[in-house]
Amino acid sequence: MNTFSSARLMAVIRKEMRDYRRKRSIVVTMLILPFMFLIEPVVAIFVVPASSGVSDPRNYVILPVLYLLLIPSIMPSTLAAFTVVGEREQGTLEPLLTTPISQQEFIAGKGAAVLIPTMALTYGVYGLFLLAVEVFAKSVVSSAIFGQGSLLVALILMAPLLASWSIAVGMAVSVRATEIRVAQQLGALASIPPVLLILILAVGVIHPTLAVALIFSIILLGVDVRAIRIVAKMMNRERLVTGSKPSR
């Protein structure tokens, strides 16, 4: 009887989406943040000097492009931090937990409801950036971005992994927090490791190659799986309802 129900999962996702749409501040915040991160990379492709003097145009575009990875790192943390403590503060968590929904369905539904808009906006912004590169960038810049698979792989592959990390940390904080504000502030800390990672890549401590992108993706995948398992363990009904560790 304890089987995972995709219908329940979809019900949670649908409800969350409906809820986001009704709250204008959520929609505005969701839209503004990614586009702010788009400004720097787009400006960067215009300021690359004329081709003759540029030894390696990647030096000019790599940091701004990696900057785009901050979108999936930062954007979901606020929403994820709201998932549990927000419901608890509204008084909706207890009625929800009295339904047949399982912990796995609850986590998956809540997580997916944050991941879906995050990825839609992230890839949407990527698309706009690549379109801008294709249309406006100098050929050296264009070839530096499209010609180097590692950059695109890093962008495409690492985005959901970074978002998942951010969501897992945000949800973990949300389970423990007693106030939405505290949860959202602590949830923002989830973006520190990804920011450090991007900095390491950007300053050249590690040279961003395809192999490096793949290795980081695998490591991130492992970290994400571990983080999600920890969150799943924390998502105990008793803990969710009482806000404290279950005791016997």
Query: Which residues are near other proteins by CB under 8 A?
Result: 1-2, 5, 7-8, 10-12, 14-15, 18-19, 22-23, 90-102, 237-238, 241-242, 244, 246-248
CB of 7 to other proteins, least distance (A): 6
CB of 101 to other proteins, least distance (A): 5
What is the Cα–Cα distance from 235 to 172, expressed in whole angstroms? 8
Query: Is 116 exposed, middle or buried, given 0-12, 13-18 or 19+ CB atoms closer than 10 A?
Result: middle
As measured in angstroms, the least distance from the Cβ of 112 to other proteins is: 15
Nearer to other proteins, 72 or 117 (CB): 117
Residue with tokens 């490791």: 193
CB of 12 to other proteins, least distance (A): 8
Nearest alpha-carbon partner for 199 in 51, 73, 97: 73
Minimum CB–partner distance for residue 23 and other proteins (Å): 6
Distance (Å, whole) CA 12 – CA 144? 42
Structure tokens at 120: 């839609």
Q: Which is nearer to other proteins, 5 or 185 (CB)?
A: 5
The CA distance from 137 to 130, in Å, is 10
Q: Cβ closer to other proteins: 29 or 99?
A: 99
Q: Tell me the C-alpha distance between 4 and 96, whole Å.
A: 16
- Cβ proximity to other proteins: between 153 and 241 the closer is 241
10 Å Cβ neighbour count for 179? 11
Closest CA to 64 of 156, 157, 163, 145: 145
Residue with smaller CB distance to other proteins, 12 or 115: 12
Q: Which is nearer to other proteins, 24 or 53 (CB)?
A: 24
H/E element holding 182?
Answer: helix 180-187
CA-to-CA distance for 175 and 158, rounded, in angstroms? 26
Q: Minimum distance from CB of 4 to other proteins (Å)? A: 11
